[in-house]
Copies of this chain bind each other. A is one copy, B any other.
Amino acid sequence: MSKGILLIMDGLGDLQDAKGRTPLSAAKKPNMDKMAKSGILGLLSPIGRGNVPGSDTSHLTLLGYPYWEFYGGRGPLEALGSGIKLHRGDVAFRANFATVRNGQIIDRRAGRIPTELGKKLQQKIGKMNIEGVEVLFVSTVEHRGVVVLHGSGLSAEISPTDPHELGAVVQSHALKAGAERTARVLNEFTRRAMDALSRAPENSGRKLPANAVLCRGAGAYREVEPFEKMHGITGACVAGGALYKGVAEYIGMDVIAVPGATGSKDTDLKAKGNAAIKALETHDFVFVHVKATDSFSHDKNFEGKKKMIERVDKELVPLLRKSGANIIITGDHSTACKFGKHTGDEVPLLAFGPGFRTGTQKKFSEVMCMGGGLGHIDGWDLLPIMLNAMGKARMVGT
């Protein structure tokens, strides 16, 4: 019987470059390589072979909540991760401050406005009541925010007002019968927000005024069976990014607040490691998330990704190892530096600890994982494998 740590380096997997290297294979990571030698490797398809996972669908599935049953849009996860309490039937959106000129979106992030300015502008919008629906806008980090609709008879089956590209501001419309009112409410919110923001003195003089709020990722909130009841273990989450904290909140894990955990490349990995070890004293299982590996991949920055992996190996992994827990290190998807986007390629996975066998491979890399003793696993296999290693799996039958 031992505890478990799942360390997700976001977007960890990669394709090889012309020299056959990936950020993971090229990284100097003596700690992880040592664990690979006495642990066991494998390749992970978070949502099935070849399928390209979003971070939300992948994390839910890896944590034992298969996406096809438990995923209902990004909005509620972002809202929960931002500390907003949701009620069953609420419809939530991920929102962006944006800059609109003559009805055209000219910057989808309003020049990545500072967080403090976003908080001030939030006051100008405030809470609204539209057609009996309470509309809440919350500014979170930089241009990011969340919109929540609270009321009865709402539907998430509406189109986004964020066109995901520059161009005309779009109206939301119902994707299914019965969603017309929700679309009208979102459109009226959008109109009023633009009106209020365009009159805000904070925007005057800004080259890219934050004069619009664009919404996407509509999702209706519902409660799900909490992690402890579902899997028979207590769980905690150590993460910087709102989405990952939101996933943990949604499935009833304890989200540990860690000063210095930013979800960016400057994140305090030692603080996260110490918080994880501490959480392990009171929980069976801790999920630790590191975002920057993915961000570097999106920026096509091979060296940055490699160095981030080296930092994790140096600053975070030794702390986690000291716990004596079963540790799985993997990613939520591959993000190919050469394309700058998520791919459906399998993700390297390393399992190490008292509950795992020792395989034959010597280092942690995509190619070594091809010959790993765990073989090729799907995302929904991960938690059962961890529970088994922890001695916490329930026997099926007698």
Residue positions of A touching B, CB distance < 8 A: 15-16, 20, 43, 47-58, 67, 71, 74, 94, 217, 339, 342-345, 355, 357-360, 366-367, 370-373, 375-378, 381, 383-388, 391, 393-398
Contact = CB atoms under 8 A, between A and B. Distances in A.
A367 B41 CA distance: 12
A325 to B, nearest CB: 16
Contacts of A54: 395-398
Contacts of A342: 395
A169 to B, nearest CB: 21
Given A50-B381, A50-B384, A56-B398, 9 more contacts: A54-B398, A55-B397, A342-B395, A343-B393, A344-B393, A345-B388, A359-B367, A360-B371, A367-B373
Contacts of A20: 358
Given A20-B358, A370-B359, A47 B396 contact: yes
B396 A52 contact: yes
A94 B398 CA distance: 11
A395 B49 contact: no
A50 B398 contact: no
Contact of A394 (B52, B343, B387, B388): B52
B49 A381 contact: yes
Contact of A67 (B58, B387, B396): B396
Most buried by B among A74, A217, A393: A393
A108 B85 CA distance: 50
Contacts of A385: 49-50, 344
Given A376-B376, A397-B67, A50 B367 contact: no
27 contacts: A15-B357, A16-B357, A16-B358, A20-B358, A49-B377, A49-B385, A50-B383, A50-B385, A50-B386, A51-B388, A52-B394, A53-B396, A55-B398, A57-B397, A67-B396, A217-B398, A343-B388, A344-B385, A345-B388, A359-B370, A360-B367, A360-B370, A370-B372, A370-B375, A371-B371, A375-B375, A376-B376
A70 to B, nearest CB: 11
A15 B49 CA distance: 27
A324 B75 CA distance: 40
A172 to B, nearest CB: 17
B16 A396 contact: no
